Structure 1
Amino acid sequence: MKIVITGGAGFIGGSLVRALTEQPQVTQLRVVDNLSTGDKANLAGLDVDFFEGDVQDAALLNQAFRGADAVVHLAALPSVPRSLRDPLASHHANATGTLQVLEAARRADGPRVIAASSSSVYGANPHLPKHEELVSAPMSPYAVTKLTTEAYLSAYHHSFDLPVLPFRFFNVYGPGQRADHAYAAVIPKWISAALAGQPVTIHGDGTQTRDFTYVGTVCHVLTDALLRRVVNPCPVNLAYGTRTSLLDLVQEIEMATGLRVRREHVPGRIGDVPHSQADGTRLRALFPRVAPVALQKGVPATVDWFRQRLTTSQL
């Protein structure tokens, strides 16, 4: 099986590449990444064919997709705040980028396309847990680009018989996730701050909740989808229905690090949803063999990774 991963040098992409190299059915791995948010270090020591460039480059995609059996489309400009600062950049990378990927897949005789959407598409819809039939209510340009991604996948499935599978990711975290940039996710940012003896910044009162999903669980689902050739034109939540407040998350980090973590509260951010929790019914039906990694195991594993990096940097 020949698999292309766009955004394969990123946090989730690099983790998925590593997981797929352990599968004997996978004979070739190709990565497309422009390295705007990814890092080739995430692919160090892995047997991959690397195509450096943007998913909006049709000629590059033609080369990468030639003879492929499946494409996992992870390339995107992440972050709600980033999309608020530059909505057009997010649209071009995420919405137009997805359209280019789907067109390239058509030109390559229709490899299956698995693509990453986001729980942010639920937005202002207050219903919990979030099931896939809920009305979407995006609160940010980023969320709109991900809803567009889903719509394009569905349209190409029905219009061109392209086999697709859109996943809605919920707050993915784990080893390999960067904390050293302006749009870093909350778990790596807070772990890094805790280990450095710095306070964590909480936007709002900290009672907002998230359904955190360990990267190993995400890779297990994606690998199972690839190997079993799962196709589903409707979106699938990729999370298991946990609900953790940011205040509780700080306590988990304290237990994992053995450190007291100072809290600094600042005003809430525009575009942030107050609560997020997945209904995992569809996911469990499609992937019954996947057992999720609990936060109580995932956070310590992530802390260990950060500590190893600190130790290495000090040598």
Structure 2
Amino acid sequence: MAVFLVTGGCGFIGSHLCAALRAQGHAVKVLDDLSTGFEENLAPGAELICGDVADPETVRRAMEGVDACFHLAAIASVQRGTEDWLGTHRANLTGTIVVLDAARSRRVPVVYASSAAVYGQPTALPITEDAPTRPLSAYGADKLGCELHARAAGEVHGVPTFGLRFFNVFGPRQDPRSPYTGVISIFCDRLDRGETVTIYGDGQQTRDFVPVRHVVSALLAAADAASVEAPVANVCTGRPTSVLELAECVAKAAGVSARVVHGPARPGEIRHSVGSAERANALLGLGATPELLDGLAEVIAWMRSRQPQSLVSAEAR
């Protein structure tokens, strides 16, 4: 049995990772300030340390006795990065440096979340890891900074790391009520309740939607592949899906008709984004990703299981 620290372990991706680690019989410590995560997401048997990932003493104590760290704590919102530039920078980049610094005394391997946001506007598709990194947001800039500091941690301090550039991750526990959540959870929630969804522009813009369970597989494999060379790899499917196609697939999974209205195109929006999964498959031995329709069915089933609780909460408010 190994001992793992998961920062952000009460959040969307982190909670799925913790559940997988506990299912394998490992001990799990979770560091989370519960600003966007929920204590109800805590995996049974995991230890919760409620604290700030950018606080050196808190992270140092959380890192004691662990065999590896999965660093997922972040404010994963481009909008928040615009509104609170310094605050999100502290959480996203300073927090990563604090984690790497705490790991260096025993050279604890650190697997951390990067993002496709490091690429900015792609110059060619599919996007490979060798593509130019020209982030268009503070969030993307901070994630690129995480990768650079991970490289320094390996070169200077001998800390093994592995960075995973997540594309559009979706799955159960992604809160559709949050203004910062992914489009899939919003579409699933609204269409399943018979409401319309708004598509900005013509709906032909494409994204690479990757199920959270595939992301968990990548994280687990990366813990064994971390090295001082500080590798990074895309976590994606390599399959583009247009926003219109997404609405149709969600409706099909829910057994309803797609009710779509169009709004004005968003200025500056990236038109097409799809990643290459070749490096991740080579380095991590990942298999084929689950089909989009199967992943959507899981999200809708989870949402339906929570509907009575959601209605009670809404009435209480």
What TM-score comes out, normalization by structure 2 length?
Answer: 0.93
3-state secondary structure, aligned to 1:165:
strand
Alignment of 1:288-299 (within 5 A): 288-299=285-296
1:9 maps to what in 2? 10
Question: Structure 1: how far apart are the matches of 2:200 and 2:79?
Answer: 13
Alignment of 1:64-213 (within 5 A): 64-107=62-105, 109-213=106-210
Question: Structure 1: how far apart are the matches of 2:72 and 2:11?
Answer: 8
One-letter amino acid matched to 1:9:
C
3-state secondary structure, aligned to 1:4:
strand
Pick which of 181-190 and 11-20 moved more: 181-190
One-letter amino acid matched to 1:253:
V
1:261 maps to what in 2? 258
One-letter amino acid matched to 2:86:
L
Q: CA deviation at 1:88?
A: 1.7
One-letter amino acid matched to 2:28:
L
Identity %: 38
Question: Structure 1: how far apart are the matches of 2:62 and 2:307?
Answer: 36
One-letter amino acid matched to 2:101:
E
Question: Structure 2: how far apart are the matches of 1:93 and 1:6?
Answer: 11
**Is this contact kept in 1: 2:11–2:38, CA < 8 A?**
yes
**Is this contact kept in 1: 2:13–2:212, CA < 8 A?**
yes
Question: Structure 1: how far apart are the matches of 2:46 and 2:253?
Answer: 34
One-letter amino acid matched to 1:173:
F
**Is this contact kept in 2: 1:139–1:271, CA < 8 A?**
no
**Are 2:215 and 1:218 aligned?**
yes
Deviations 1:274-298 (A, max 9, x none): 2111111110101225331110211
**Is this contact kept in 2: 1:139–1:272, CA < 8 A?**
no
Deviations 1:9-45 (A, max 9, x none): 0000001000111113x2x21000011110011115x
Deviations 1:49-105 (A, max 9, x none): 111011111111111101211110000001212212222222111011111111111
Q: CA deviation at 1:229?
A: 4.6
**Is this contact kept in 1: 2:71–2:110, CA < 8 A?**
yes
2:34 maps to what in 1? 35
3-state secondary structure, aligned to 1:21:
helix
Alignment of 1:274-293 (within 5 A): 274-293=271-290
**Are 2:236 and 1:239 aligned?**
yes
Runs of 5+ consecutive residues of structure 1 not aligned to the other structure: none
Runs of 5+ consecutive residues of structure 2 not aligned to the other structure: 313-317
1:22 maps to what in 2? 23
Count of residues in Structure 1 that have an aligned counterpart in Structure 2:
310
One-letter amino acid matched to 1:62:
R
3-state secondary structure, aligned to 1:61:
helix
**Is this contact kept in 2: 1:31–1:48, CA < 8 A?**
yes
3-state secondary structure, aligned to 1:114:
strand
Closer, same or farther: CA 14–140 of 1 in aligned 2, 3 Å: same
**Is this contact kept in 2: 1:56–1:96, CA < 8 A?**
yes
Pick which of 9-18 and 288-297 moved more: 288-297
**Is this contact kept in 2: 1:172–1:212, CA < 8 A?**
yes
**Is this contact kept in 1: 2:29–2:62, CA < 8 A?**
yes
**Is this contact kept in 2: 1:128–1:276, CA < 8 A?**
yes
Question: Structure 2: how far apart are the matches of 1:130 and 1:179?
Answer: 28
Pick which of 13-22 and 291-300 moved more: 291-300
Pick which of 176-185 and 229-238 moved more: 229-238
What TM-score comes out, normalization by structure 1 length?
Answer: 0.94
2:315 maps to what in 1? none
